[in-house]
Amino acid sequence: MHRNLTLLTVYLMSAGILLISILFALHQSSDAAILF
């Protein structure tokens, strides 16, 4: 219950942080300069 909720929070946060990292890489990189 609480364990599952904690795990879900960790999964969601990790996924969110990974997404931010990917967006950061897209934003900063020459490969995807056209996107931003």
Length of the chain: 36
Tokens of 4: 């599952």
Considering the rule CB under 8 A, would residue 31 count as an interface residue with another protein? yes
Considering the rule CB under 8 A, would residue 2 count as an interface residue with another protein? yes
Considering the rule CB under 8 A, would residue 34 count as an interface residue with another protein? no
Rounded alpha-carbon distances, angstroms, from residue 1 to 4, 6, 7, 10, 35: 5, 9, 10, 14, 42
Q: Least distance in Å: CB of 6 to another protein? A: 5
Binding positions for another protein, rule: CB under 8 A = 1-3, 5-7, 9-10, 13-14, 16-18, 20-22, 24-33
